[in-house]
Structures are given as structure tokens and as C-alpha cells.
Amino acid sequence: MGEAAALGMAASAAGAGTAMTSLAARLPTTALAGLEISFATVAILAALVVSGQAGDVVGAGAVTLLAVAGSGVIDFAVAQPIYTRALRVAGLQRTYGVTIGLFILLTTVGGVVLLGERFMPGLPIGGALI
């Protein structure tokens, strides 16, 4: 299942990368970050409502909510501006492979180290295939 999710993520990231490249050439970084935050907020809230898990946000502990918010701050304040600048300078062809490779590596390590998921040979094989 993890390998299929990784393939699906790679496909959606390719589409998002193409859109980001186009927008990065036309919008200031802060405006693009604002659009991303707005879209991500609506998408996450919609997913919670559709899945019937919106109540889980209310029941989440303060540490969990701060961790999620902190992750968002790191992403939108640090990672996204760097990525947007890289798209402007180097283009999607040069940045995509590196960013997807890092995403797969970091999510695999995070899943194993932080979530205690079992390391399976399919994880690096799937990552290498992507």
C-alpha cells in the first residue's frame, strides 16, 4: 500500500510542480505562498468533513495541534519560498527529481523513526522506481 501511495504522490506532485512552475514565473513568492496556504487549508478541511473526521481536530491534544501548525510554518515560511525560487532559477526539469527524491527519503525516514513503521524492502525499491 505504501508503494502505491508513493506512486500516487509522485503523480500529483508532477501536476502540482507544473502548475507551480507556471505560477512562480508570474507571481511574487509571498502571493504564491498565500494561494498555497489557502488551497491547502480548504483541501484539508474538506477532506476532514468528507471523511467524517472533522471532530478529531477538536479532540486532538495541544501538542499534536502545535506539531501540525509548526510543520505548516516550516513548510510555508522556509521550504516553499526556497522551492519557488529554485523553480524560477533552474526550472522544473532540474528541481523535480531532487525534491521528489528528498520527499520520499524524508517521509520514509519519518515513518520509520517517528511513527514506528516497519521498514520493508519495498520502500526504497518504490522510491528508486519513482
Segment 84-93, tens digit of pLDDT: 888 888 888 8
Write out the three cell numbers for 119: 521498514
Please choose, from the candidates 56, 76, 63, 71, the residue with its C-alpha nearest in 3D space to the C-alpha of residue 107.
71
Mean pLDDT of 41-60: 88
Mean per-residue pLDDT, 15-35: 85
CA distance 10 to 97: 10
Q: Phi then psi for 21, rounded to 5 degrees? A: -60, -45
pLDDT of residue 130: 67
Q: Name the average pLDDT for the chain.
A: 83
Distance between CA atoms of 83 and 19, rounded to whole angstroms?
Answer: 13
The confidence score (pLDDT) of residue 49 equals 92
| C-alpha distance from residue 39 to each of 42, 114, 123 (Å) | 5, 27, 29
**Of the candidates 122, 115, 30, 18, the residue with the CA atom closest to the CA atom of residue 76:** 30
Mean pLDDT value across residues 64-90 = 83
**What is the model's pLDDT at position 31?**
86
Is the model's pLDDT at 103 over the cut of 80? no
pLDDT at 98 over 90: no
The pLDDT value given to residue 1: 59
What is the value of pTM for the model shown? 0.60
